[in-house]
Amino acid sequence: MFWGTWGAVLPAVQQRAGADDGQLGLSLLLIGVGALSALGLAGLLLDRTGPKLVPLGAVLFALAGIVPGLAYSVAVLAGGLVVLGIASGGFDVALNTAGVDEEGRTGRPLLQLAHAGFSGGVVMASVLTGQARGAGAEPASVLAVAGGVVAVVGLLAPARPGRDRPCLQRGPARRPRGGRPRVRLARPRRPAPVLAVLGALTALAFAVENAQQSWSAVHLERTLGAGPEVSALAPALFAAATLASRLAAAAAGPALGDRLLVGVGALVAAGGTVLAALAGSVAAGLAGVAITGAGTGVCAPVLLSLAGRRTAAAERGRAVGTVQTLAYLGFLVGPAYLGLIASAAGLRSAFVAVAALALILAATAWRARATAPLASA
């Protein structure tokens, strides 16, 4: 709900803050900077406390989401986006770790379904936000409504433990006087090379995905002359396409294999991004956005699920946090990368540059056999 609202309201936020394309791109970079500062700590806290952090994360995220809508200058917008990034990063780790725990309990590809739920919320929120903007609603009001939904759902969600006490040290425990074993926390270990590979691949997927989500509405309004109601369809169609592809991947993914899903998905995303870049009409631009969403949508859930499946339950929060820390470099770089290129060469050239990132993801996924992170294919 929030990110669908954000993508559709971003042109109004940019106008209110008085930011040009380069300033907006650098400001969006700060979402990732804030998230990077929170991801590792959130994973460690999850391993120690369990799923009780989910409702707290929802409330903090909802409150942080209102701040950018109030920004009246580039400096205030930048500060608000740092706060939003911190809240978003911690909440993301909590949600993805809970999803991997459920996969371990049920044996079903639930992370694809969870990310499909994200896409469904984006579709609904994008369309409603376009209508609200057309009726004259201010950015802060729209973001406050979306944040309120997030907070209510987070507080009502059941928080059942997904695993046993997760960060207890393995092996025999010492017995102090009194007869009870002493429990000690395991020391964090350096991330395995496979987590670094998965993090790098997810970073490329996030870069393509977040660049499209953040700039597609701006591209339609500025390059193709669409109105706010129509430009809001861009993030909505992107999310609808990711919803469809993630539901399909949840059903057929185990038979197709992880490598095929990531490689083909990245190639489709590259083609859709090129179409959006070269579009001569609003309809063609929207089609390119939708194709990109269908391709990139399957990549990140596959890679995050692999990180959880390849890690013991006692360290799963830290593993997901490690991969997401690396992946958020892509979340951080994607919108800024597009914005800076747009400032120098125009939005069309910037979208072509994003397509190049998708091609790198496809090539890297196919050649990942050396470290075997996608061995299930």
pLDDT 10s digits, 78-124: 999 999 989 988 888 888 777 777 777 777 777 777 878 877 887 78
Residue from 290, 261, 269, 294 nearest 366 by CA: 261
pLDDT in tens, 42-77: 777 766 766 677 888 889 999 999 989 898 899 999
Q: Does residue 60 lie in a domain region?
A: yes
Q: Does residue 25 lie in a domain region?
A: yes
Give yes or no for residue 351 having a pLDDT over 90. Answer: yes
Contacts of 304 (CB under 8 A, 6+ apart): 96, 100, 111, 198, 202, 320, 323, 324, 327
**Residue-level pLDDT at 145:** 92
For residue 45, what are the domain limits?
2-159+193-370
Single-letter code of the amino acid located at 233:
L
Give yes or no for residue 177 having a pLDDT over 60. Answer: no
Q: Does residue 175 lie in a domain region?
A: no
Torsion 266-243-247-96 (CA) sign: positive
Q: Does residue 344 lie in a domain region?
A: yes
pLDDT in tens, 269-325: 999 999 999 998 999 999 999 999 999 888 888 887 777 666 666 666 677 777 777
The average pLDDT across 196-202 equals: 83
**Half-sphere CA count of 200, side-chain side, radius 13 A:** 15
**Residue-level pLDDT at 274:** 95
Tally of domains within the chain: 1
344-372: b (≥16 Cβ within 10 Å) or e = eeebeebbbbbbebbbbbbebbbebeeee
Contact in structure between 335 and 25 (CB atoms under 8 Å)? yes
Single-letter code of the amino acid located at 113:
L
Q: Does residue 174 lie in a domain region?
A: no
- Which is more confident, 105 or 190? 105
Contact in structure between 300 and 323 (CB atoms under 8 Å)? no
The per-residue pLDDT of the chain, averaged, comes to 79
CATH number at residue 201: 1.20.1250.20
The average pLDDT across 229-236 equals: 81
Q: Does residue 44 lie in a domain region?
A: yes
The average pLDDT across 246-270 equals: 82
Q: What is the CA radius of gyration of the chain?
A: 20
Q: Which pLDDT band, with edges at 50, 70 and 90, does 162 fall under?
A: very low
Residue from 104, 86, 69 nearest 31 by CA: 86
Angle, CA 110 vertex, CA 244 and CA 170 arms, to 5°: 155
Place of tokens 């010492």: 174
Q: Does residue 147 lie in a domain region?
A: yes
Q: Does residue 39 lie in a domain region?
A: yes
In angstroms, rounded to a whole number, what is the distance separating the alpha carbons of residues 109 and 254? 8
The average pLDDT across 7-35 equals: 85
